[in-house]
Every structure is written in C-alpha cells, then in structure tokens.
Amino acid sequence: MLQLNYIREKKDEAIERLKIKNFDAKPILDEVLELDNVRRKTQNELDAVLAEANNLAKQVGELYKTGKKAEGDELKNKSTSLKENSKQLEDKLASLEAEQHKLLVQVPNAPSSKVPKGKTPEDNENVYQEGDIPKLHEGAKPHWELASKYDLIDFELGVKLTGAGFPVYKGKVARLQRALINYFLDKATKAGYLEIQPPIMVNEASGYATGQLPDKEGQMYHSTIDNLYLIPTAEVPITNIYRDVIVKAEQLPIKNCGYTPCFRREAGSYGAHVRGLNRLHQFDKVEIVQIAHPDKSYETLEEMREYVATLLRELELPFRILKLCGGDMSFASALTYDFETYSAAQQKWLEVSSVSNFETFQSNRLKLRFKGAEGKPVLAHTLNGSALALPRIVATILENNQTPEGIKVPKVLVPYCGFDLIN
C-alpha cells in the first residue's frame, strides 16, 4: 500500500511512476486526495465535538461532587445532544476511511526509476547472462522422461495420493532435493542470514499483511475449519514476524532465511507448459528476506542479486538475470530481478528465482518501522528473494547434466548427496 503522505506530497510523481506499470493512477489518486480532504475536515469536526463532550462530562462530575445537582442535570442534557452528533460524525469518518483504504489497496507499488518500460515478458531487460548452454547427447530427454527412466519422480502416484501437481520424489532425487535444501541453507547462513523454521500455515492477519489477502485468496489453500492458510511462500510467515514491530535502527539490516514447502493452487493455469516439474501445487523453496534502511535498500537488492547468482554459478547452471519491465512486475514490487536457468532438453528458460525490493509497500501494511534519527518511527524497506526454488532447479540439473551413463550431480552437492551420479 502506498503511503498517504507520499500521495499527498508527490502525487504527480506517483502518477508518472505508475505509468511504467501501465497503471493509470490519476483518477484513483485524485479521488483518494479528495476523500482525504473531507476526511480531515470530518475528523476536525468530530474532535471538536468530542472535546466539548469531554469537557462537559468533567464539569458535570464537578457539579455533582459539590452538590449542585440542578446545574449538573442541565449540562447533562446538553451533552446528550452532542452524543448524537458525534455518533454521526464517527460513522461518517469510519466510512470515509474505509473508502479511502479500499481505493488505496487497489494502487500498485510505484516502480523504481530504474524499471524499464514495457508490457510483456518480452520487454524485460536481460541484464546479465552467464554459463554455457550445454550440448546434449543424442537421445537426450526432458526431465519428466528422465524421471520415469531412472524411477525418480512419480507423477501418477502423486495423483493417486493427492492430485495433479503433487509429485512423489523417490530415492536419489529425494536425496538430491534434501541436498539442495541443506546446501542453500548453509550458504545463506554463511552469508549472514538467520535461519528460521516458521509455521507453514498462517492466520488471516498474516495473509492480509503481506498482501495475499484479500486479492489472491483463491491462490492459497484454505483450511476453513480453522481459518488458516497454507503458505504460498516462506515470505509470508517470515515477513510477518515483523508485523507491528518497531525495530532499532542499529538492527538493520535484518537478514532471515528459511526453508519451507510452498503451496499454490495455481487456479487457472493448466496446459502443456506446466508439464513435469515446471509448475506444481506443492514445492520446496529456501527464501531470503531482508529488512533494510530506506537509504540502503537498493544496495541490499544488489547484494541479494549477487548472492543468488553465486548459488547458480556454484551449481554450474547457465542462467540469466532479467530486470522486469513495468508490465511484468508484481503488484507490490518496486524493482524485481528474475533469474532463469536454461533447460537444455526443453530448450527454454525457466524462472527459478525472483528478487525484489518492495520499499515501504509491504511495511506500510505490516506497520514495520524503525526508530529514525529523530526518534520517530519510520517505515523500513522489505526485500525478499528465492534462494532458491527447487523443482525447476532439479529439472534443469536432470536435463542439463544427463549423459548416456547417467545424470551427473553438481560438485557442490556431492558431499550433501553422497553420490555423484544418478543412474
């Protein structure tokens, strides 16, 4: 949610920036400010009425105490009429606030000035590429065929147990996933991230604070009997640790990481492009989260970007980094880098990580603040990124590393796996 102050002070800038996201903010922001004027006026009126009522109540108390009952009764009547008035004003204020909030939550985050213009993924800016696209041997297969060839992943069994999008991993690939998780967590810890094991179900309040609710309600699995939601990413519980928290400035940046399974209903996305591991309802991911000082958050973003690049480099996977264009960015993000690895057998790039700076967009809802220089609470910036999501990494490893003899395990994972070849 954008800050009201920002809109008040820099409406034109906000409108300009939002154009990059192809969002015409003018009508809605105009309305927000109009409501804001009425709101402030109403609050002024209400405060005055309440002040008078408070005053009268005090006087009545005094009069009764000193035995002047008749005078007290007179004032009593007066305050009764004030009460009706204040009731009306209160209702008006509440509905104005609700209306304003309703408009505000429809406005996406204003993108950073570094965000390229554009509408579709084709307009994303390829800012970096590394690694050689492997040349596969004759008869190389996509990962879903490798999965059955070596009896690694059983998609049909997952259907039997749960449904499509819930695969069963077996033997060496199960071990490979465990290895990846441990490797990612070890790396993150070395990079200064505190490891967190959060709950993987969250309540409504948490869902609202990070923005999954109410908009993306249909994207989360919902346990209605307890009114809890399965998390779509560890970002939700980890970021919510800092909901309604005022941290000390010297604590910044706060660096947390966590491994969790992630659950996504992915309602509406079916078809050939979701084959195999490409899109699942349940998958594993290690997430990194940082809470940064507003002056430092873009440095932090670059640091996180470099961190994720290191992981892919060490896994020996060819990857590229895209700076997302305005049209392809998420609602909440101010600047996003997507990481894609090249899947040689599918001959396409697969998104494996997304690293974003949300500036104050999340912290405004979270009420995540730090004590600024003057001792006043200031909204912190939040950032997060996948480091990394497993299924597509697994898919790429299986495909890119296949040889006639079997699938080679990346060197850094061998100590974690205890084997170097899947055959």
Partner RNA sequence: GGUGAGGUGCCUGAGAGGCCGAAAGGACCAGUUUGCUAAACUGGCGUACGGGUAACUGUACCGAGGGUUCGAAUCCCUCCCUCACCGCCA
List interacting residues with RNA (CB under 7 A): 4, 36, 40, 43-44, 46-48, 50-51, 53-58, 60-61, 64, 76, 79-80, 83, 246, 369, 375-377
Cβ(195)–Cβ(224) under 8 Å? no
Q: In angstroms, what is the minimal distance from the CB of 388 to RNA?
A: 29
Choice between 112 and 363, CB closer to RNA: 363
Choice between 74 and 302, CB closer to RNA: 74
Q: What is the three-class DSSP state of 229?
A: strand
Choice between 57 and 103, CB closer to RNA: 57
Choice between 85 and 330, CB closer to RNA: 85
Q: In angstroms, what is the minimal distance from the CB of 54 to RNA?
A: 4
Q: Is the peptide bond before 253 cis (omega within 30 degrees of 0)?
A: yes
Q: What is the three-class DSSP state of 303?
A: helix
Cβ(369)–Cβ(363) under 8 Å? yes
Question: How does strand 348-359 pair with strand 201-202?
Answer: unpaired
Q: In angstroms, what is the minimal distance from the CB of 170 to RNA?
A: 22
Q: In angstroms, what is the minimal distance from the CB of 19 to RNA?
A: 26
Alpha carbon of 246 to those of 251, 252, 279, 372, 385: distances in Å? 11, 11, 38, 10, 23
Q: In angstroms, what is the minimal distance from the CB of 48 to RNA?
A: 6
Measured distance CA(258)–CA(273) in Å, rounded:
29
Going across the sheet that includes 369-371, the strands are 246-247, 369-371, 377-379
Alpha carbon of 243 to those of 105, 220, 357: distances in Å? 18, 20, 17
Choice between 325 and 366, CB closer to RNA: 366
Q: In angstroms, what is the minimal distance from the CB of 53 to RNA?
A: 6
- Name residues whose C-beta falls within 8 Å of residue 170's C-beta, 6 or more positions apart in sequence: 151, 152, 153, 154
- Beta carbons within 10 angstroms of residue 178's beta carbon: 14
Q: In angstroms, what is the minimal distance from the CB of 76 to RNA?
A: 4
Choice between 25 and 46, CB closer to RNA: 46
Choice between 94 and 164, CB closer to RNA: 94
Cβ(363)–Cβ(379) under 8 Å? yes
Choice between 58 and 137, CB closer to RNA: 58
Question: How does strand 406-408 pair with strand 402-403?
Answer: antiparallel
Buried b / exposed e over 366-399, threshold 16 CB at 10 Å, is bebbbeeeeeeebbbbbbbbbbbbbbbbbbbbbb
Q: In angstroms, what is the minimal distance from the CB of 93 to RNA?
A: 9
